[in-house]
Amino acid sequence: MSLRQEKASYILRRLEELYPETPIPLDHSDPYTLLIAVLLSAQCTDVRVNKITPALFKKADAPEKMVKLTVDEIASIIKPCGLSPRKSKAIHELSQILIDKYEGHVPQSFEALESLPGVGHKTASVVMAQSFGIPAFPVDTHIHRLAQRWGLTNGKNVEQTEKDLKKIFPEDKWNKLHLQIIFYGREYCSARGCDGLSCEICSAFNILKKNPIITKK
């Protein structure tokens, strides 16, 4: 067994002990509201998104209702999330596409999701994993940082890190594991809260050794 596989086995075991339940951090009621919430979470915290979406979804919790709002009306509601001009335009446009092409339903394929305005691979992966139960490993900057810090990848971007993590972790663990890593990072191994040795997993791997590993935040 390679060193990375040993680390992967330890991480799987320990994170399952720490986080046997993995509630989805973004409040939603169906694939559409999850899609909108994930889109809003770009460069915004889940906590803030959850404060904004009740007002938005009260007015429009389905594509047919969303397109009845103007882009400016959507922007005024989601402004605290940041990037509101771009996000509001994307929300309005993708809602119309869902009506026109998918009978108002969120499609269950990466290709279809990633063709929607404002929806990248990470957003599509979250929806596929959390709404449809299809194996995916959404990698954001936080998971990317931890994977680097734990020596699971040499990837210089989230795309390569995703490929590396998919190779070393069983496919049937991906959907739950990506949330477990996020929870662990927030609680024990944040960008400024761990120097690469302080938390349990980092110290178990003796990651610092003689020279600290510098990871991009």
Give the active site residues.
122, 140
Which spans in 19-157 are helix H?
A: 31-40, 46-59, 63-66, 71-78, 84-102, 110-114, 121-132, 141-149
Provide long-range contacts, Cβ within 8 A and 24+ apart, for 114-117.
116/90, 117/89, 117/90, 117/93
Residue reference for tokens 């020596």: 151
Token pair of 94 as six digits: 């993708």
Largest CA distance in the chain: 60
